[in-house]
Structure 1
Amino acid sequence: KIAKIYLVLFPMHLNHIFNSFLVCPATEKHVKKYLHQEVFLVEESGEDYRNLTLPYISSQSFSVQWVHNILEKKAEADRIVFEDPDPDTGFVLFQLQDLYLIAIVHRRDVKSLRDLTSEHLPLLTNIRSKGEDAIQRQYGIPPRKLCMYLHYQPSYYHLHVHFTSLEFDAPGCRVERAHLLSDVIQNLQADSSYYRNCSLAFPLRADDGLLLRFKEAGKL
């Protein structure tokens, strides 16, 4: 595996304006993700999820093999900061950037926030407590300076939790997509079926196939 280093130099007076993010290799999905497009805010009920979103997800070839490769140490093993190997409550804490990590669960039967019930509270509380401890040991960042959240909709359908420093402006951390882990835990403690039934809002780009499903159903 050959490492490549890219150096981009901006004029001094523009250094405070530009920020770069390299994706390699980039799939067609990655390219579309970073192209400018019109965006719509969709409000999805629990019924909408079951009748529109879930069938759409199931009909698409959204591969998460690369996630399985990380879990099985077949790829990117050097970026794993911590692992709890328990098959039910365990996870790997994977470093994306210095102040941006994700906890990827070992369980393969939970795709997203919508699948969570009170059954998964031990998993979520374990991720929170052990993730906080691992990040404090590795980076010296205390829990009160961490932001922990789940995306809905997620970029890939294998449950994972984002960990970022409050000082890091991570992509996708805006309120219409990010759900704080502490809020998720509290909601499930109050109602086991909360995320099976509640309405969730999220943005969809104009070229997203799921947006067409919502339009055809008269939901937009």
Structure 2
Amino acid sequence: MESSTEPSCKVAKIDIHPFHGFKEARVLNELKDKKSVFLHAVVEPGNKDAVVILEKKPFDTSEEGLASLLSSETELQQVISNDIYSTYSATPKPRHGMLKTTMIYPATQKHIDKYRKQEVVVVEETYDDYKNITLPYLEEENKFSVQWVFNILDKQTESERIVFEDDDLETGFILLPDMKWDVSDLNSLYLIALIHKRGIKSLRDLTAEHLPLLRGILSKGQKAIFDKYNIPKEKLRIYVHYQPSYYHLHVHFTHNDFDAPGTTVTRAHLLSDIIQNIEIAANYYQTKTLTFVGRKEDKLTIALQKSN
């Protein structure tokens, strides 16, 4: 069965402010080009850790939004004036200065390390490396805990955000907005397809038996996005990460105009290429050496570098 529902954009009532008790905030990383900052804070009571991501939202380019921005209500303080050129420090109405805020609480050291700025290096992983180094590391570090994904698949959370569902337990998936997308700017479109079938951790597990699943995600995901947002398939970038940030197979759908994180050749594998590779060789991802970027201080990166 397939269905489509409107994602909800309702603002939930907050009984206790999420920032209540925050202290000792420090910067983990800052991406000036993306106008975002990643913070580590300690929260009372209990001195628990939290990770907070602050991102400046895109401009409201609707007719009403631009009229509000280019009005006398925007305070201007001149910085430079030279002939026909001038620059100002501008303070617009609050609606134009909103931030998207993501919070992870309580955060573990793994969350803190994930967002902390670190030097990265390119590493190569053979399939033997995957079996003998990567898999044991992932099991030891308990990287396979994806209860929050199961909560979505079981409709315990975020069911109102589902854009499309194919509920077949072997070839079906749920398509919903990624947390990085606030559903307001279509040029920043970012959706995730979470497969219903459990036990497929990553690209490394995919074989010819999964082709119906992969083809369905590609074609049905493209159609669902066109039906919902009127964005044609040629405007979409559809890919899988390796290594992924969590080990339940999922597919990223992003707008071509959006400079989404993790779209470089050392992280993203186009879904259409994955399908074609498996059509050529059923065990392609059990033989291919995969190259990806790892954090220099990460134990897995160090182990893989030693093996090469």
Normalising by structure 2, what TM-score? 0.64
Distance 2:281 2:128 in 1: 17
Query: Is 2:248 aligned against 1:158?
Result: yes
Distance 2:234 2:304 in 1: 39
> Compared with structure 1, are the counterparts of its residues 24 and 56 closer, same or farther at alpha carbon in structure 2 (3 Å cutoff)?
same
Query: Is 2:146 aligned against 1:64?
Result: yes
Report SS of the residue matched to 1:147: strand
RMSD: 2.0
Q: List runs of 5+ in structure 2 lacking aligned partners.
A: 1-11, 20-31, 37-54, 56-99, 184-188
| Corresponding letter in the other structure for 2:261 | P
Number of the residue aligned with 1:9: none
Distance 2:286 2:304 in 1: 18
C-alpha deviation, 1:212, in angstroms: 2.8
**Match for residue 213 of structure 2 among 120, 123, 127:** 123
> Counterparts in 2 of 1:41-190, with a 5 A limit?
41-62=122-143, 63-96=145-178, 97=181, 98=183, 99-190=189-280
Which moved further from structure 2: 24-33 or 184-193?
24-33
Q: Which is bigger in relative contact order (C-alpha 8 A, separation at least 6)?
A: 1
> Compared with structure 1, are the counterparts of its residues 203 and 22 closer, same or farther at alpha carbon in structure 2 (3 Å cutoff)?
farther
Structure with the larger helix share: 1
| Corresponding letter in the other structure for 2:137 | Y
User: How many corresponding residue pairs?
Assistant: 210
Structure with the larger strand share: 2
| Corresponding letter in the other structure for 1:64 | V
Deviation string, structure 1 residues 159-210 (Cα, Å, up to 9, x no partner): 0000001011111111110000000000000000000110000111123221
Distance 1:126 1:101 in 2: 16
Larger radius of gyration: 2
> Compared with structure 1, are the counterparts of its residues 84 and 152 closer, same or farther at alpha carbon in structure 2 (3 Å cutoff)?
same
* Percent identity over paired residues: 51
Deviation string, structure 1 residues 49-99 (Cα, Å, up to 9, x no partner): 111111111222221000000100111112211110000000000211130
Distance 2:18 2:233 in 1: 33
Number of the residue aligned with 1:23: 102
C-alpha deviation, 1:213, in angstroms: 2.1
Query: Is 2:214 aligned against 1:197?
Result: no
Report SS of the residue matched to 1:164: strand
Report SS of the residue matched to 2:247: coil
Distance 1:157 1:16 in 2: 29
Which moved further from structure 2: 23-32 or 201-210?
23-32
| Corresponding letter in the other structure for 1:180 | L
Report SS of the residue matched to 1:56: helix
> Compared with structure 1, are the counterparts of its residues 5 and 124 closer, same or farther at alpha carbon in structure 2 (3 Å cutoff)?
same
Number of the residue aligned with 2:81: none
Which moved further from structure 2: 145-154 or 27-36?
27-36
Report SS of the residue matched to 2:123: strand
Normalising by structure 1, what TM-score? 0.89
Q: List runs of 5+ in structure 1 lacking aligned partners.
A: 7-14
Distance 2:211 2:225 in 1: 21
Number of the residue aligned with 1:32: 113
C-alpha deviation, 1:113, in angstroms: 0.1
